[in-house]
Each structure stands twice: as C-alpha cells, then as structure tokens.
Amino acid sequence: MLLTVDAGNTQIKAAVFERDIIIHNEIIPYELWKNKIKNILKNFSQIQNIAVISVGKLQNDDFSSLQSEVKITFINQNAKVPFINRYSTPHTLGVDRMVLASGAVLSYPNTNRLVIDMGTCITYDFINDNNEYLGGAIAPGIRLRYEVLHNYTAKLPLLNKSIPLSTIGNSTEQSIHSGVINGVCYEIDGFIEAYSLEYKNFIIILTGGDADFLAKRLKNTIFANPNFLLESLYKTFQYNQND
C-alpha cells in the first residue's frame, strides 16, 4: 500500500492506494494533519511508503517523526518525469503542476493533453503528443475571487460559492455569483477555444476541489476527476521506482 499526501495552499489531501486503486481518501485541515496521518497509518498497517508533494506550509522536516514508521518520499523538481520540460524557467514549475503533467502523460499516452486544476488557483497545463510540457496559465480560483471582491471593496459581502440563477444577476448577491461562477466558466471555455486554434485534438482533464462543481457548466467535453493529482502522484512515485 502507498499513502499519497498533497499539501496544498489551504488544505491537505491524502489517499491510500492498493494495486492502483484508491481505497481511502480524505481532506485534512492543516492543524490536524499529523494526528490524521498517524490514524491512517494505524488503520492501514500495510502502508509501506508515503509519497508527498507540498506547495503549502509543510516542509520535509515536518515528517521526521513519521520516518521511523514508514518510508517517506518527497517528490520535488528533481524527480524523474515522463515528459520534456519546455518551460522557459523549468525550475520554477510548481511541483503540483509537474506531477499533474506526469499523470497526464502516463494516463493518456500518445495524445495532446490539457490539465485544468481547480484549486486555490486555477492552473492550466498543456502537454503535447510528443510528451513536451509547453506551459499554460495561472489564474485566481473560485474562492479567491469571492474573497477579493469582499476584501477590496467597502460593501460587497463575502459569499459561499453558489450556482447563479441567471447570467443577469437581479441582486448584489446574484450579481457576485454570476460574475464569479460564469466568469470562471467563460474563462475556461475561452482558454480551451484558444488552445484548439493551434491544436485541433486534445483531451481535457478537469481536477481539483471545484472540478465536480463546475464540470456540467462547461460547454466542452472533459474528463472530470477531482482526485487526478493524487492519482498522478501515485503514478509519478511508481515511475520513479522503476529506474
């Protein structure tokens, strides 16, 4: 068994894999992470390895107390990947985006791929059918957009995400929902249309915490998989074990 841990900007996601299948997964608040991980190790005693990526608050040393119980592998920019990195600043590519690109190549061979990750930020990552990572885009995520409207204005309320009743908001709250949710959908569809002008055929993988929330509102055909980063981390770990 393998435990994968994705320490993101706002929360931690963990999944236990057995023979390529997720048999347990959960979202963990940062303040509870160590006890929660220890509970997972206790409940799944056959776990022999933990694969970790972190773009958030956790550092390698934070896991030192667990190293006596299980082998820990930190996936970073030095890991072996199944693609050629064409980013003009390759060492600045976030490890989460690197792992998503690896997962796209390993899961969908011999095709062009666009991975859209709906997390704190919305990231777009394009890998062509020659397994070249070309880059993409980074934009504010849904929650950030709601927070910006509230924090940088005097009177706009902070709302929880909600599907707007109409494109034309008939109240301040509905106008905010329309601006945030419809705006994100138009942005994603616009990026997909822009990529399609250069690449006629590519698959689209939508992942992250807001993937299911938005999937049915997009006009393009996509593979919605909220756990794709954890699955990609699993595949990247296995890929690095096969040297």
Are 159 and 143 contacting, i.e. CB atoms less than 8 angstroms apart?
A: no
**What are the residue numbers of the active site?**
96
Q: 125 near 114, Cβ under 8 Å?
A: yes
DSSP-based three-state secondary structure for 63: helix
| CA proximity to 179, closest of 219, 145, 223 | 145
Nearest alpha carbon to residue 6 among 77, 54, 76 = 54
User: How far is residue 215's CA from residue 226's CA, in Å, rounded to a whole number?
Assistant: 10
The amino acid that residue 119 corresponds to is G
